Structure 1
């Protein structure tokens, strides 16, 4: 196991950001709910206690026994974590007289302290708490403050334990990365060797050790980043014993089936394409409810994948492109593991086929997956491809799914996506696509009246897809795309642009 920082999660909205900041320092870290705190091992070099929406004064708030860590490895309490350490040792944590939320400035800094070394007087930090530490316990020393917060940071005498009542992980804390470096690298002594190249070497060795010498592995490929990077890692480890299955459900983008298969062939992957589009169209016939569409697609995929997988002799493993946010979101800080993203995995196939599951990317965030893919030589067009929904164009066609409506949408979508690339806008957008609406509108083409279909263009900017803003694309570009779609796609006579953000809207329409 690599050196790591353990993050105990008390339910803060910022917990994943703490992990991201530590990973950016090329140091491995893991998030665990406080209810499932792991035992201290040699690879754990330090512990971070996250924030929380709770108050330490509430009898039902998180209050774990931290004695396994305190004094044995460096510990950093962030916001609630800092208040918890003070509260457990007899300090006074009380409601703040003035709600401490938003930007603040450190006016009193012990710049010689190892945690705060290099921070400048007046350094901006981000506060987000309703309680505050009024009185520190005996043996606790203040090392930073603000005009409104006397104890913005403290240390415990005689042990490497620290607390801060601000959030260094958010960008509003302008020197937060320096503070995290001081803790993770200087105080915890981590080597900063968690790099894409290091991950590739260690994961390939792990896969070779885990997968038997004659075992065959099956992987459902989608053409997306996660499954493609997982495939390259497995291919490097076991070569042609990896069997990729790429199912054409008839709901892919224009020419995507052939293009993805060709890309995988160039990469030397052992991939079999399966054209099952007619089976999916049959399963979707007459369905208009989005959830019914998703379930029909899921059932049909399992049937097709199961049938094709049984053609592989000696299959022992099912590989999946699960990434770290999927793992985090499947565990609740309030109790045992709960499944949040069942759609990410291939239904009940592991149990149905009696296969063991291998997930080579389950330790990585999305940006790290791309970095690993780059190190493995994954082509740019796959590496930086926009996210595409598992059900494909079925949830971008509102109403009935027919081959004719899919064909219309594929042509319009291709014009939009190709246009984004032509205008150098593709990489500025997180996700884009065209929605085919279940309405007709009156139009005029030449001297003739038309009554044809309407499409909506959708493009958003985002960091992780959890929230998103509509992309402010140039009017000239939108005019060009609208004109091109109406002129070249028979059956469409009106184009609109979706300017809804998430929330309240979602990125997809269904």
Structure 2
């Protein structure tokens, strides 16, 4: 088996103690133009140091340092000469491992909390004396370990931040990675630039160079196929692999009948014209409809769609080899545009909950016949867009609103049928047209349009009583897909969308607006 060499720069390791914020910490480090990787808390100090990290960040987590079986921080990482920053649970675990006192105070702090800076030091240099930060803790550090300077306090945390510049060890009780912490990014950058002495020199160009070399090392001279959906993720993944291995790659576009209006044409015309990639189009609409017949459960739908995708890819691979003639090797690799949020929400992190199975992660069949090539697996959506622009992927695709791999199949609440797909497609097209006309395409990260197929509501249309389906608009804004807020679309735009949908789409007599943030709701309804 070909071993892929380690081609990335020396990483800042983010040690994941079971909180989804670990991925957000890694993203914020990258925003500071410093490369980061995530490792599970089960890694030993020896395993962490074997990665030759330039710094280590200990994430927050749901545990208490006093719980039986709580994640343990090996003190060896504090004597290895590597700069370390502890955050929330990581801060408390660091304090306890180094001889400080951590206790339950009975005064919890959740959400926005006032922080009083008593000593700016390195970590809080330039910070205001009083600032708002995002807290989430019940325990607190009561006494800092010997050699540490206390930098800040709060009502519920006598020691809310500390540092030992001689050993390059730092910690904060709050979450600097979330936007609710007013000066959080500055705290991370002070640690990276001043505490750890790192330079902000990690860019999309570095990602491309590293991934191209890694793909070549993994693939060698083997044949590769890529499931191309026309979305930014699969398009950028395909462009990366094509740059690495050229004609060894064939892209397979599966028209599964779950696409939005005009998407098949966009793939065949826009992406292929700009990249010259080899493309095979497979019409599998009836196959997917047959497989989904009678199925309403969301998880079952996702797994069926994931399974059918792979089966179609396997057949496409056999057809590609057959068309190439005799003495051709089988297709060994499948390229997927898997991103970090896909992996996290599918339970792919140490201690992470399985929120939903993404078709290309938790939905893959056990008997997968391919080795996977996933060059975007450690990237967030905004990073993928930056890489795509650097690769020359058309802006119309790079800035296309995200669309789930299972397509409209998970935007129909209920059984998927051709008639329901046609209804949803028509409503979705109207919403996209009106949002584009209003100039909101960049302001709105995405606007899922959902058909409540198993719900009917009474309406009046043409002086008569109707009993039609509701359509839900879900406009959201997000930077990283881990959190999102509903977008305040102007009322007149919503009115135009509602009027057109109820006038032009048969069997729909009501349009409603989803004003739920993530969390608690996910982006998709299913």
* Residue 458 (structure 1) aligned with residue 473 (structure 2): yes
CA deviations over 1:24-75 (Å, ceiling 9, x no partner): 1100111212112433147411111122332223343222323044342111
C-alpha distance in 2, partners of 1:222/1:478? 29
More moved, 63-72 vs 14-23: 63-72
Q: Using the TM superposition, give the Cα deviation of residue 450 of structure 1 relative to its aligned residue in structure 2, in angstroms.
A: 6.2
Report the number of matched residues.
502
* 2:216 corresponding residue in structure 1: 208
Which of 502, 507, 510 is matched with 1:495 structurally?
A: 510
Where does 1:287-326 land on structure 2 (aligned, <5 Å)? 287-313=295-321, 314=329, 315-326=331-342
C-alpha distance in 2, partners of 1:16/1:130? 22
Which of 98, 112, 121 is matched with 2:129 structurally?
A: 121
CA deviations over 1:233-267 (Å, ceiling 9, x no partner): 11111112111100101121112212221122212
Which of 243, 262, 268 is matched with 2:269 structurally?
A: 262
* 2:108 corresponding residue in structure 1: 99
More moved, 261-270 vs 415-424: 261-270
Contact 1:218 1:245 in 2 (8 A): yes
Q: Using the TM superposition, give the Cα deviation of residue 195 of structure 1 relative to its aligned residue in structure 2, in angstroms.
A: 0.4
C-alpha distance in 2, partners of 1:99/1:379? 49
* 1:151 corresponding residue in structure 2: 159
Classify the secondary structure of the residue corresponding to 2:65: coil
C-alpha distance in 2, partners of 1:217/1:234? 9
Where does 1:147-226 land on structure 2 (aligned, <5 Å)? 149-156=157-164, 158-212=166-220, 214-226=221-233
Classify the secondary structure of the residue corresponding to 1:2: coil
Q: Using the TM superposition, give the Cα deviation of residue 136 of structure 1 relative to its aligned residue in structure 2, in angstroms.
A: 3.0
Q: Using the TM superposition, give the Cα deviation of residue 347 of structure 1 relative to its aligned residue in structure 2, in angstroms.
A: 5.5
C-alpha distance in 2, partners of 1:139/1:488? 71
Contact 1:104 1:127 in 2 (8 A): no
* 2:3 corresponding residue in structure 1: none
Q: Using the TM superposition, give the Cα deviation of residue 183 of structure 1 relative to its aligned residue in structure 2, in angstroms.
A: 1.4
CA deviations over 1:106-153 (Å, ceiling 9, x no partner): 3411x4x33333333334433332222223343333344457644232
CA, structure 1 residues 390+163, in 2 after alignment: closer, same or farther (shift >3 Å)?
Answer: closer
C-alpha distance in 1, partners of 2:503/2:146? 77
TM-score (norm 1): 0.88
Q: Using the TM superposition, give the Cα deviation of residue 466 of structure 1 relative to its aligned residue in structure 2, in angstroms.
A: 4.5
Q: Using the TM superposition, give the Cα deviation of residue 380 of structure 1 relative to its aligned residue in structure 2, in angstroms.
A: 2.4
* Residue 108 (structure 1) aligned with residue 148 (structure 2): no
CA, structure 1 residues 43+194, in 2 after alignment: closer, same or farther (shift >3 Å)?
Answer: farther
Structure 1, unmatched stretches of 5+, are: none
User: Max radius of gyration: which structure?
Assistant: 1
* Residue 362 (structure 1) aligned with residue 377 (structure 2): yes
C-alpha distance in 1, partners of 2:190/2:169? 13
More moved, 363-372 vs 11-20: 11-20
C-alpha distance in 1, partners of 2:181/2:355? 34
TM-score (norm 2): 0.86
Structure 2, unmatched stretches of 5+, are: 1-7, 322-328
Q: Using the TM superposition, give the Cα deviation of residue 415 of structure 1 relative to its aligned residue in structure 2, in angstroms.
A: 1.3
Classify the secondary structure of the residue corresponding to 2:319: coil
* 1:444 corresponding residue in structure 2: 461
* 1:420 corresponding residue in structure 2: 435
CA deviations over 1:374-425 (Å, ceiling 9, x no partner): 1112222221222223332233334454433322332222111111111112
CA deviations over 1:191-221 (Å, ceiling 9, x no partner): 2221011211222122223321x32111111
Q: Using the TM superposition, give the Cα deviation of residue 287 of structure 1 relative to its aligned residue in structure 2, in angstroms.
A: 4.0
C-alpha distance in 2, partners of 1:325/1:499? 22
Contact 1:31 1:328 in 2 (8 A): no
C-alpha distance in 1, partners of 2:381/2:190? 26
* 2:65 corresponding residue in structure 1: 56
C-alpha distance in 1, partners of 2:79/2:380? 29
* 2:92 corresponding residue in structure 1: 83
CA, structure 1 residues 41+487, in 2 after alignment: closer, same or farther (shift >3 Å)?
Answer: same
* Residue 230 (structure 1) aligned with residue 227 (structure 2): no
Contact 2:149 2:164 in 1 (8 A): yes
* 2:286 corresponding residue in structure 1: 278
Classify the secondary structure of the residue corresponding to 2:403: coil
Classify the secondary structure of the residue corresponding to 2:230: coil
Contact 1:332 1:338 in 2 (8 A): no
C-alpha distance in 2, partners of 1:142/1:63? 23
CA, structure 1 residues 95+286, in 2 after alignment: closer, same or farther (shift >3 Å)?
Answer: closer
* 2:324 corresponding residue in structure 1: none
CA deviations over 1:318-352 (Å, ceiling 9, x no partner): 112122334455445459x9997462249657954
C-alpha distance in 2, partners of 1:455/1:340? 24
C-alpha distance in 1, partners of 2:448/2:368? 35
C-alpha distance in 2, partners of 1:493/1:334? 42
CA deviations over 1:139-188 (Å, ceiling 9, x no partner): 33334445764423223474222232233223333332222222112222
Classify the secondary structure of the residue corresponding to 1:259: helix
C-alpha distance in 2, partners of 1:152/1:460? 37
* 2:491 corresponding residue in structure 1: 475
Classify the secondary structure of the residue corresponding to 1:388: coil
* Residue 247 (structure 1) aligned with residue 259 (structure 2): no
* Residue 404 (structure 1) aligned with residue 419 (structure 2): yes
